[in-house]
Amino acid sequence: MRLLAVQRIIGAVVALSGVFMLPPLVLSWLLGDGLEACFGESMAIAVVAGLALWLPVRRARTELRLRDGFIVTTLTWVLVSLTCAVPFMLGPTHLSFTDAYFESASGLTTTGATVIVGLDALPRSLLFYRQSLCFLGGMGIVILAIAILPMLRVGGSQLFRAETTGPVKDTKLTPRIAETARALWLVYVGLNAICALAFWVGGMDLLDAVGHAMAAVATGGFSPYDASIGHFDSAVLESICIVFMFLGGVNFALHYVAWHRASATHYFGDPELKAYFALSVALSVVVAFGIYGAGVFPTLGESLRHGTFHVVSNITTTGFTSTGFFTWPGFAPMLLILIGFIGGCSGSTSGGLKIVRVVILFRQGAREMLQLVHPKGRFVVKLGHTSVPGQVLAAVTGFCTLYVFSYVVMALLLAAVGVDLVTAWSAVAACINNMGPALGVAGPHFRDLNDAAIWICSFAMILGRLEVFTVLILFTPAFWRE
């Protein structure tokens, strides 16, 4: 373990997290809402803590190994969530350390679950800061650091591998990892700008447009209103949100190629994107007819409007709501929670298992059934026109097994600390899938859960955001053996 190099990188990223407080500080000064001191003190705490870690080892230049990438990535998310929690403790929300950490981790992991009630009455600079956490976490803190800090190019491939999502993590869009990270961030910022412009034209004020764009493209789901997108009661804004949530759930490598080649033709040949689109459409129709039949809305048009919005919001694990779906009768609320396990595409900002893994898993199951019918036959699992290698099939199976096992264990732990069963299973599903809304007590917010449950949910959010292996590998004895 290259401990000095690990400490150097973590210190630099923690100090960098202090810069996250600068935009809301400037906004607070412009709006005169009195939170300049809150953000100034929070920034100072982050910078001082980061420099205290970085300065003693600033000359450490040891090359990182893959195992170092895992520990740097995990500690970065844990510690940056800690520093970004400070404004929620010092500001008018006056959250406890436990609740502030949950809120910070929820934003950075793009989960969108909240413990805050009465968002509409809070200062806009704090609400903007809260949404900016989704923006920063959407593409990933570690990838951000690789993109803008030349010192982190050392071992950048190890960090990139530990941070990115999907069953295959070694594909580079450009020859250098730092260039790849910058390319992805360029596409990400461009989508945010287009989304903000669309929201603004659609009727939001400029600050709401920018904030909701940051939460939509990042599939983060934080809104400055308790009613979320339902605050606006606008079919136009909901439609814009659907489009950009969906785009946030698409592999950003596809967006990069579209921008680089000035062509959208490659979108139509991607098998994962095809499955993502088909599944979103099919589930939207099922949910719409389900809530129409249950009499939730008087017309089929309204049912399609809200059904489609919540399906896209949940399959992309964004967590925006246009109405309180957790109060709907029938099967729809349960289905909406379950589709969060599917998630968006690999290499996107969404959580969940990812579409490509689900497709591979189902095709592998179909192959096994064919093998039972034709024992002497030879069948392969294909994705598009490409055969899936055996090691990828094994990795996908192992990942899904460990993912579901982690979910079950944490749901049982939540039940063990006094949470009712409906809330326990749905709250952990919402957190490990980075989806946000749950059922039961945690339907409108997580404020009423006890501290033990909040810490379990905070761990679930980081575990899901780093795709299980990156975190759990640190708890294996083999990881620490040389």
233-257 tens-digit pLDDT? 999 999 999 999 999 999 888 888 8
- Mean pLDDT of all residues in 296-308: 95
**Residue 174: pLDDT over 50:** yes
Query: What gap in Å lies between CA 53 and CA 290, rounded to an integer?
Result: 55
Helices 235-248/300-315 angle, 10° precision: 30
Query: What gap in Å lies between CA 230 and CA 31, rounded to an integer?
Result: 25
Tens of pLDDT, residue by residue over 412-437, are: 999 999 999 999 999 999 999 999 99
At 155, the pLDDT band (50, 70, 90 cuts) reads: very low
pLDDT of residue 67: 78
Cβ(381)–Cβ(388) below 8 Å: yes
Cβ(57)–Cβ(68) below 8 Å: no
Cβ(462)–Cβ(471) below 8 Å: yes
Cβ(172)–Cβ(144) below 8 Å: no
Indicate the length of the chain as a whole number: 482
pLDDT of residue 93: 92
Q: Taking CA 42 as the corner, what is the angle to CA 39 and CA 45, rounded to the nearest 5 degrees?
A: 150
Contacts of 157 (CB under 8 A, 6+ apart): 177
At 70, the pLDDT band (50, 70, 90 cuts) reads: confident
- Mean pLDDT of all residues in 433-444: 92
Q: Is 116 exposed, middle or buried (0-12, 13-18, 19+ CB in 10 A)?
A: buried
Report the candidate in 403, 227, 179 with the shortest Cα–Cα distance to residue 323. Answer: 227
Q: Averaging pLDDT over each range in 167-176, 177-186, 249-258, 314-323, which range is the top one?
A: 314-323
Query: What gap in Å lies between CA 324 and CA 276, rounded to an integer?
Result: 25
Q: Taking CA 198 as the corner, what is the angle to CA 194 and CA 199, rounded to the nearest 5 degrees?
A: 120
Query: What gap in Å lies between CA 311 and CA 131, rounded to an integer?
Result: 22
DSSP 8-state assignment for residue 231: G
- Mean pLDDT of all residues in 62-73: 77
Query: What gap in Å lies between CA 348 and CA 451, rounded to an integer?
Result: 31
At 258, the pLDDT band (50, 70, 90 cuts) reads: confident
**Residue 165: pLDDT over 70:** no
What predicted TM-score, i.e. pTM, was given to this entire model? 0.91
Tens of pLDDT, residue by residue over 455-478, are: 999 999 999 998 888 899 888 888
Poorest-pLDDT segment among 114-118, 239-243, 378-382, 456-460:
378-382
- Mean pLDDT of all residues in 128-132: 96
Give the mean pLDDT of the chain: 89
Contacts of 155 (CB under 8 A, 6+ apart): 5, 9, 63, 64, 65, 68, 69, 72
**Residue 322: pLDDT over 50:** yes
Query: What gap in Å lies between CA 82 and CA 92, rounded to an integer?
Result: 18
Query: What gap in Å lies between CA 404 and CA 414, rounded to an integer?
Result: 15
Contacts of 322 (CB under 8 A, 6+ apart): 228, 229, 230, 238, 305, 306, 309, 310
Cβ(57)–Cβ(438) below 8 Å: no
177 compared with 325, residue with greater pLDDT: 325
Helix (H, G, I), strand (E, B) or coil at 278: helix
At 377, the pLDDT band (50, 70, 90 cuts) reads: confident
- Mean pLDDT of all residues in 214-243: 95
pLDDT of residue 153: 42
**Residue 390: pLDDT over 90:** no
Query: What gap in Å lies between CA 284 and CA 333, rounded to an integer?
Result: 13
3-state SS track over 122-157: CCHHHHHHHHHHHHHHHHCHHHHHHHHCHHHHCCHH
pLDDT of residue 163: 53
- Mean pLDDT of all residues in 4-14: 86
**Residue 152: pLDDT over 60:** no
